[in-house]
């Protein structure tokens, strides 16, 4: 299992448009294998958003990452566009025994 984090800052004037798009994000990403989707807005940094969800494979992660980076309608709402949509995947840490 991998946990994916997506981070970006919304343009204030496009906030409502972005929130409308986020409202359907869980179902859109579920079609690509995402589970446990959640989104958060920074308390100390209004407009800074983080999304998180789990996927089973690196392939699912790569597909979702490519999809999100190519989502021009959503990226147009981000300060700096797609270049400022940060997508990272993490796997459970393995500790020495």
- Can you give the pLDDT at residue 6? 98
b/e per residue 43-77 (b: at least 16 CB within 10 A): eeeeeebebbbbbeeeebbebbbeebbebeebbeb
Look up the pTM and report it: 0.92
- Can you give the pLDDT at residue 14? 98
CA distance 29 to 33: 7
- Can you give the pLDDT at residue 86? 98
CA distance 95 to 36: 25
Alpha helices in 12-70 (DSSP H): 15-23, 25-30, 58-70
Residue 94 pLDDT more than 90? Answer: no
Mean pLDDT of 60-66: 97
pLDDT band of residue 9 (cuts 50, 70, 90) is very high
DSSP-assigned letter for residue 84 = G
Residue 15 pLDDT more than 90? Answer: yes
């Amino acid at each position: 299992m991998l946990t994916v984090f997506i981070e970006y800052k919304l343009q204030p004037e496009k906030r409502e448009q972005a929130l409308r798009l986020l409202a359907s994000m869980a179902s859109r990403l579920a079609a690509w294998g995402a589970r446990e989707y959640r989104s958060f807005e920074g308390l100390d940094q209004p407009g800074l958003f983080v999304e998180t969800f789990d996927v089973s494979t690196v392939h699912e992660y790569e597909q979702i990452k490519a999809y999100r980076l190519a989502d021009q309608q959503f990226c147009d709402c981000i300060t700096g566009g797609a270049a400022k949509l940060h997508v990272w995947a993490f796997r459970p840490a393995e500790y020495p025994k």
